[in-house]
């Protein structure tokens, strides 16, 4: 690599890190605010306290919201992963102009502003009687998250070797067996990535929750929203830190699993086995 190319690469890498810091650093302000010993939002001045974290994990209201967010995110991620994976495989098998048009339609939840989707869910959920219900929240979040799974699984399928599928069929395996034992194991990283992104999307979602959840369903982001509107309790900052930690943990788990899959599939591993 020439000196000119090296300088250009270093500049691009530095610019990328600067952009990442610009996006992430404002989020980290919640960490010192959550450690303030005072009863209102403020930066700690010398003394720090964990009282707001204790309040977060000892309060039945906050723990109920954490539990509801976990349940809704888990089930919506499961549904979105199944639907997104099946759609990605189906569109990959068809591989035509019509499939690309269908793909564009399926990706609309990622393109349409969340406020528009929230209003649409509200109008439909009123007629179906799904307002302020677990099923309504899970279905809505699954619809919003399914395109994320579609994208990640489609990316994995783009690198899939069609000869493996053809060999399986030539050896007498049925379509179901080929899908279960050849295709799905090969695209496992994309499926896991979609599932984790779907979970994070549901875990952090607030706009749709404000429209279709009233009194019975109070997810963690919605309780944080109400806490900011009604008072200035620093417990909101502590819950924000928990949200960030859960998101980072999910991405870390995905990174570890992806590296594990790559190591298992490396040529050195195959030779040793």
Instruction: Provide mean pLDDT across the span 185-205.
Output: 89
Q: Which domain holds residue 124?
A: 67-219
pLDDT at 184: 85
| Residue 212 resides in a domain | yes
d(CA 156, CA 191): 8
Please count the structural domains in the chain: 1
pLDDT at residue 113 tops 50: yes
Lowest mean pLDDT among 4-8, 71-75, 103-107, 129-133: 4-8
| Residue 141 resides in a domain | yes
140 neighbors 158 (Cβ within 8 angstroms)? no
pLDDT at residue 230 tops 60: yes
pLDDT at 271: 44
- Confidence (pTM): 0.81
pLDDT at 268: 41
- Which CATH number do you get for residue 132? 1.10.3720.10
Instruction: Provide mean pLDDT across the span 206-221.
Output: 90
Residue 225's Cβ-side half-sphere holds a number of Cα atoms within 13 Å equal to: 15
d(CA 102, CA 98): 6
Which of residues 258 and 46 earns the better pLDDT score? 46
At 112 the three-state DSSP class reads coil
Residue 101 vs residues 8, 32, 96, 108, 231: alpha-carbon distances, Å = 38, 48, 9, 11, 47
By C-alpha distance, which of 231, 219, 226, 239 is closest to 52? Answer: 239
- % of the chain beyond a pLDDT of 90: 30
pLDDT at residue 208 tops 90: yes
């Amino acid at each position: 690599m020439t000196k000119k190319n090296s300088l250009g690469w270093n500049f691009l890498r530095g610019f990328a890190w600067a952009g990442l810091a610009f996006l992430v650093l404002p989020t980290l302000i919640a960490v010192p605010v959550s450690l303030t010993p005072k009863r209102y939002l403020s930066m700690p001045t010398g003394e720090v306290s964990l009282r707001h974290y204790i309040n977060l994990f000892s309060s039945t209201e906050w723990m109920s919201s954490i539990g509801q967010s976990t349940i809704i995110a888990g089930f919506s991620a499961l549904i979105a992963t199944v639907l997104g994976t099946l759609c990605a495989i189906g569109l990959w098998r068809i591989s035509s102009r019509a499939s690309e048009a269908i793909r564009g339609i399926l990706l609309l939840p990622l393109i349409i502003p969340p406020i528009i989707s929230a209003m649409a869910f509200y109008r439909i959920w009123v007629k179906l009687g799904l307002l302020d219900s677990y099923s309504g929240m899970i279905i809505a979040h699954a619809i919003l998250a399914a395109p994320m799974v579609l994208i990640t699984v489609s990316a994995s399928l783009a690198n899939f070797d069609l000869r493996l599928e053809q060999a399986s069929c030539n050896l007498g395996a049925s379509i179901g067996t080929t899908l279960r034992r050849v295709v799905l194991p090969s695209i496992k990283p994309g499926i896991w990535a979609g599932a984790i992104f779907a979970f994070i999307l549901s875990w952090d979602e607030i706009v749709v929750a404000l429209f279709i959840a009233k009194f019975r369903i109070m997810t963690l982001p919605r309780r944080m929203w109400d806490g900011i509107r009604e008072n200035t309790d620093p417990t909101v900052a502590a819950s924000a830190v928990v949200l960030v930690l859960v998101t980072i943990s999910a991405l870390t788990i995905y990174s570890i699993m992806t590296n594990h899959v790559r190591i298992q599939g490396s040529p050195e591993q195959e030779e040793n086995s």
